Amino acid sequence: MSSSVKDFAKQLKAVREWERANLPFHQPQIALDILIYSQLSGSEFPDAGMKDLHLNIQHSEDRVREVRKKLIKNGWMDVVAHGVDGRSKCIRPTPRLISLFEEYQKIYKMI
């Protein structure tokens, strides 16, 4: 194995260690997918509603709902009224999540 591959493996290990220490969940794939989606809401998905979340996250609806509720309860995302359809709700990242993603971005720039 070349030294560049070993160096890359060390960098990935450092990223994973940072994730375990700083990311707010125990089911990383589902929660990270939800957090990424909420981070994109307002820009790529300007009216990202709950239904859209469930359609775009490729996990069981019950599990997505459970993890989403925990993330909202713990202050990582907010639920706000839909801009057009008052019957719907949208998810938005909180300043806490935005700050976490800024930190996460720095970790990935190491690679």
Calculate what percentage of the chain has a pLDDT beyond 70: 82
User: In degrees rounded to 5, what are phi and psi of residue 93?
Assistant: -70, 145
Q: Which of the residues in the chain have pLDDT under 70?
A: 1-2, 25-28, 41-48, 85, 111
Q: What is the pTM of this model?
A: 0.69
pLDDT of residue 45: 52
Separation CA 10–CA 73 (nearest Å): 34
Q: Other C-beta atoms within 10 Å of 23: how many?
A: 15
Q: Give me the CATH topology for the region 3-109.
A: Arc Repressor Mutant, subunit A (1.10.10)
Q: Where are the domains positioned within the chain?
A: 3-109
pLDDT of residue 19: 80
pLDDT of residue 73: 92
